[in-house]
Structure 1
Amino acid sequence: MDIVKGLVQERSVVIFSKTNCPVSHTMIQLISGFGANPTVYELDQLPNGRDIEKVLHTMGCQPSVPSIFIGGNLVGGPNDVLSLQVQGRLAQMLMDAGAIWLWNGNYYCQTESKCNNVPDTGVKLGFSLISIMFPII
């Protein structure tokens, strides 16, 4: 567990991913859509990626990617993150972790003096992500 703790410590958002995982890419885009700059570890590109993956499994990450940490704490996988998004709690978690300064649904501020207009990544995006992951037959 120390290897994962060392990687997530002192970083506001960390995503463990694999380069060929579309769900990981979707989670990275969702978090980035708030204006956060997540640290992404591509496990299939790291020499100790398999060891990290085993640790993530022991921490309860099933499957191991994507695994999302916010504020040094394990949030979980994509279902957990989408749940937080649908509940309207994800933005607050990102603010609490210092990943973003301010969020009102349309603007984010990474510093007190620099705000940018970004696309709305509200509940509608969360539902579209769910429908992509679990298409209706």
Structure 2
Amino acid sequence: MPLALEITLILVLLAVAAVLIPLLLQFHKTARGIDAFLVTLQKELAHVAEDIHASRVRMDHLAGSIQTSLTELASFSKSMGEAGSLVRELQFQFRDGLESASRRFGGAIGGVGALLALFKSKHSPPEPR
């Protein structure tokens, strides 16, 4: 192989090495930076996961409380509906009883009036014409 070719090849290899060494060093720095970032990200994600878990536990507790309250509210609402039906029934019974009593009282008053009119007509002298 000619000497000029060997020298050219050596110079090219030195130039490639001169470019590759700083590039490889930069890759190494970048890889360490990415590794540090991933470690920090892992820690932060662990904190976020703990916060999410705590929030989920609080939401589960809140959902349980809401479910209990809704169950109690449904029971109360049902009781109020039954009480309303009972009040309505009592109102109808009272009204019917009052109407019946007023009819009986009116009938009794009419009967007493008729009886008094009968007594009055028997005990009073006939009117002259």
Q: TM-score, structure 1 length as denominator?
A: 0.16
Of structures 1 and 2, the one with the larger relative CO (CA 8 A, separation 6+) is 1
Q: Of Structure 1 and Structure 2, which has the larger fraction of its residues in helix?
A: 2
Q: Which has the larger radius of gyration?
A: 2
Q: TM-score, structure 2 length as denominator?
A: 0.16
Q: Of Structure 1 and Structure 2, which has the larger fraction of its residues in strand?
A: 1
